Amino acid sequence: MNPSHSSNDCISSDKVEGTSVYNAGGDKLGSIDDLVIDKHSGQVRYAVLEFGGFLGMGTDRYPLPWNMLKYDTVKEGYVVPIDAATLEKAPHYTDGDMPAYTMDYNQKVNRHYGMDS
Amino acid sequence: MNPSHSSNDCISSDKVEGTSVYNAGGDKLGSIDDLVIDKHSGQVRYAVLEFGGFLGMGTDRYPLPWNMLKYDTVKEGYVVPIDAATLEKAPHYTDGDMPAYTMDYNQKVNRHYGMDS
């Protein structure tokens, strides 16, 4: 996701999961909890942001289109160009209540972030 | 990975990790421990098979090209067309000793399984 990386620069899902996510202003939004992968192609479609809740309880999950995440080597985390209002209204679900990532759901998520489906 | 799945059929990395892997003969080889993802494109390159060891200690990690894995809905696991001799000689590493997935390393893995780099 970092443009300076070659197409052969790989990362472990174990390392992505748990990585902090910041907004453009440098505020920490939360961390990556999970990845949503296209079974057929193996393409990672979404990195699922976990945030909210108290002491890890009741946190929500917000799928973010993978290509919205840029890795910041200084922050050692991902930066996403999403303002609070946009995230607040974004499709989300609670842990253990993951929806089916159908074409309709994916389009709903992508369109919320102004991306083509 | 199952051809019957549409390109919109997604799966969580949390679900992939821990899924059993079988050979064509139906013998269980181990389970998926990790995924190796191309940072830039978001493409999953390898599913890392964990097997060997004793009570989970000293197990080895074998990166398997993602598109070699086919999901078997009856076994509820992945089936890979890899015989014991091929797997025995395959590139692998111990937990905590993950190599850099450079172009050279990826080609080494892909060629071992007779795939183009």
Residue A53 has pLDDT above 70, yes or no: no
Q: Does residue B28 lie in a domain region?
A: yes
> Max Cα separation, chain B?
39
Q: How many domains does chain B fold into? A: 1
Most confident of A52-61, A102-111, B48-57: A102-111
Q: What percent of chain B has pLDDT over 90?
A: 72
The confidence score (pLDDT) of residue B56 equals 58
Side-chain half-sphere of B71: how many Cα atoms within 13 Å?
A: 18
Q: Does residue A8 lie in a domain region?
A: no
Residues B67, B45: Cα–Cα separation, whole Å = 8
The residues near A100 (Cβ < 8 Å, ≥ 6 apart) are: none
CB contact under 8 A, A13 and B36: yes
Of B36, B42, B48, the CB nearest to A43: B42
Residue B40 has pLDDT above 90, yes or no: no
Parent domain of A87: 13-112
CA distances B66 to B1, B36, B54, B78, Å, are 8, 9, 26, 11
Distance from CA of B106 to the nearest CA of A (A): 8
Q: Does residue B8 lie in a domain region?
A: no
Q: Does residue A2 lie in a domain region?
A: no
| Whole-complex ipTM | 0.83
**pTM of this prediction?**
0.86
Q: Does residue B94 lie in a domain region?
A: yes
Of B10, B37, B67, the CB nearest to A11: B37
Q: Does residue B3 lie in a domain region?
A: no
For residue A85, the domain's CATH number is 2.30.30.240
Q: Does residue A34 lie in a domain region?
A: yes
The confidence score (pLDDT) of residue A3 equals 42
Q: Does residue A76 lie in a domain region?
A: yes
Residue B52 has pLDDT above 70, yes or no: yes
Distance from CA of B16 to the nearest CA of A (A): 9
CB contact under 8 A, B13 and A13: yes
Q: DSSP assignment of B72-113, as one string?
A: ETTTTEEEE---HHHHHTS--EETT-PPP--HHHHHHHHHHT
CB A97 within 8 A of CB A34: no
